[in-house]
Amino acid sequence: MHVVRTTRRAGAAPILVSALIGLGTLALVAPAAAAVTRGSPASRAEVQRTHKGVLADQTETGAARMPDFGHRPPPMFTQCPPIGEDTGCQELLTVNADGTVSAQTDPNQPHYDGTDDALLGVVNDSPQVVSSIPLTGTDAFGFDGDGLCTARGAPAGCPFGPTGYEGPGTSFTVTDANDGSVSFTGGLAAGASAYFSLEAVASPLTTSVECQPNVECSDTESLPGTQDTHVRTVSSTAGSITLSVDQSALDCGDTYLHAPLVTTLTTTTLTPTNDKVVTLTIVRSQAIGTPGRGFKVCYSSSTPFVDLYGHLVTTGLLPLCPRVGNTPPCVISSTHTGGIFTEKFVVPASDPRFH
């Protein structure tokens, strides 16, 4: 699954990369509430925020009225029901037909609790079942007890999970306050959608796709303007491919150029009938290493392999395939065109890390 994150709030500029390469911190600003006057002039209704941001019209008599959303444009994303101050999803994650995941926000949808919480929807426009989408965002998983099931207009059936932030058929795996993943019970089928809430909008950094027996299966992780990782294989059994991109350390003790982020490739219950082929594309200006040096793949696996220098190692630079009798892992081709490095290499039946 290829991840591309865009947002209408920032002029359609990608925002997935910002958390990784320091392009800035995202902030969603809810539209300010306009003063409302209802009935006679004597009422002088005033919009006020009550407990943690729930809007109510407070009159002189102290009577509370529900906010009027009649002036708000229709929601852009109806995969989420009206909850709290939202009439639809504040953020929508779309799994596209080509395996990419894009994210958009509706500028007319504030935080559903009036303060900081976000209502997110997911729609699967790909032909494959999506099992989970790991996410990252500042305090996105710092649950403090005000999930969608505590909001005004909470959907029937609440709660859907132990945190109160789950939507129907969803669950969370929390790594820390900023990182975690949303999983879909039984997988999110092609054409299906789901919704859930978080403490803030979040960006997907890991993709996972389900593979069917004897059919080519591929997954792509993309950070626009930085690097893309694509893997494809064929398996005799059903299973999944997961690509995770992070800033963890991976050092081959060299001065060559490398991708700025480390990719971890994992497979589950697959029985590949051929080697996995990985294509790693890097924007030269984003590469790390000594300027002017060539590009090499720094590779790490629990299974020993022969490196560029003919040594048997578990972490090292990959050699060209002809130098090792086309025994993977090895580099099939290496090109540099228009400021873009492209490395194509084969990976054996292991779960490696590389950049």
Please tell me the distance from the alpha carbon of residue 149 to that of residue 292, in angstroms, as a whole number.
55
For residues 96 and 335, what is the distance between their CA atoms, to the nearest angstrom? 28
What pLDDT was estimated at residue 99?
Answer: 55
Please provide the average confidence, as pLDDT, over all residues in the chain: 79
Q: Give per-residue pLDDT as tens, 48-94.
A: 333 333 333 333 333 333 444 456 789 999 999 999 999 999 999 98
Q: What is the Cα–Cα distance from 256 to 355, expressed in whole angstroms?
A: 11
Above 80 in pLDDT, residue 27? no
Check residue 286 and give its pLDDT.
Answer: 87
**pLDDT bracket for residue 260 (50, 70, 90):** confident
The pLDDT, as a whole number, for residue 12 is: 36
Q: Is the peptide bond before 329 cis (omega within 30 degrees of 0)?
A: yes
Q: What is the mean pLDDT of residues 219-244?
A: 87
pTM above 0.85, yes or no: no
Most confident by average pLDDT, 5-14, 113-122, 259-268:
113-122
- Output the pLDDT for position 55: 35
Q: Is the pLDDT of residue 41 over 80?
A: no
Confidence at residue 70, expressed as pLDDT on a 0 to 100 scale: 54
Query: How does pLDDT run across 88-102, given as a tens digit for each residue?
Result: 999 999 876 655 567
Q: Residue 306: which pLDDT band, with cuts at 50, 70 and 90? A: very high
| Cα 302 from Cα 300, distance rounded (Å) | 7
Indicate the Cα dihedral angle 164, 167, 170, 174, nearest 10°: -40
pLDDT at 97: 67
b/e code 269-298 from CB counts within 10 Å (16+ = b): ebebeebbbbbbbbbeebbebeeeeebbbb
The predicted pLDDT at position 292 comes to: 82
| pLDDT computed for residue 158 by the predictor | 97
Q: What percent of the chain has pLDDT over 70?
A: 77
Q: Is the pLDDT of residue 40 over 60?
A: no
Q: Return the structure tokens found at 293.
A: 């040096």
**Structural domain boundaries in the chain:** 2-17+78-204, 208-354
Dmax over Cα atoms in the chain, in whole Å? 89
pLDDT at 202: 87
Average pLDDT in the 262-281 region?
Answer: 89
DSSP secondary structure code for residue 48 in this structure: E
Quick: pLDDT tens for 167-198.
999 999 887 888 788 889 998 999 999 999 99
- pLDDT of amino acid 207: 77
Q: How high is the pLDDT of residue 71?
A: 66
Higher-scoring residue by pLDDT: 314, 224: 314
**In this prediction, what percent of the chain has a pLDDT beyond 90?**
50
Residue 9 has pLDDT above 50, yes or no: no
